[in-house]
Amino acid sequence: MHINVAGTVKNSFVDWPGKIAFVVFLAGCNFNCPHCHNHNILSSMSNRLPWGSVLTDIKEQIGFIDGVVISGGEPTQHPHLDQIIRDIRALGLPVKLDTNGSDFDTLRRLVEDGLVSFVAMDIKAPLARYGELGFFKGSIDDVERSIEFLKQAKVDFMFRTTPIPELTEQDFMGIKKLVGDATWVKNNFVPQKP
């Protein structure tokens, strides 16, 4: 099986709270967020780096890193996500998944099968504004199901929101109501160069 990924960061101190992580970026996304900071890997065609060489790099970091973060794009869109995670787990390393929550079935399966140790789910806006703000044109039912699932699941998780200029204080209040008492952080908003 020939597997490619989009890129890596060998040592990150910010992608997994309290841990040093190797980050693997998987290209392809079903969202079109206007302020995406990874816009260069939204197309699955950006998966050009051989997974075998990345796995070798991960092995070389064992003893220094605490785990591996799978980010994107949207990782659940990658056709070989399960194999990538299983390869990492076979090395004895835990995996954190960054996701937009739009593929509820995949998220639930990964959590229930014990393949991921931590999930960071981005909540872009109050659910009613996803389409209006141009994030996602499909049904957001899976996003809502993912939120509710994580709140009940036996896995470490956090919700994240990037405070883009289009979001109002009322929007943030709506998101807070959605997440309840769960851990919810606001990412730094970094405007993109035109």
The enclosing H or E element of 184 equals: strand 184-186
Instruction: Identify the CA nearest to 191 among candidates 166, 158, 160.
Output: 166
Distances (CA, A) of 191 to 29, 37, 99, 135, 136: 20, 8, 21, 16, 20
State the pLDDT confidence band at 33, using cuts at 50, 70 and 90: confident
CATH fourth-level superfamily of 4-186: Aldolase class I (3.20.20.70)
Model pLDDT for residues 171-185, shown as the tens digit of each residue: 999 999 999 999 999
Is it the case that residue 193 has pLDDT exceeding 60?
no
State the pLDDT confidence band at 170, using cuts at 50, 70 and 90: very high
| Rounded percentage of the chain residues whose pLDDT exceeds 70 | 93
pTM for the full model?
0.92
Domain boundaries, the chain: 4-186
Distance CA 160, CA 17 (A): 12
Model pLDDT for residues 153-166, shown as the tens digit of each residue: 999 999 999 888 88
Model pLDDT for residues 87-117, shown as the tens digit of each residue: 999 999 999 999 999 999 999 999 999 999 9
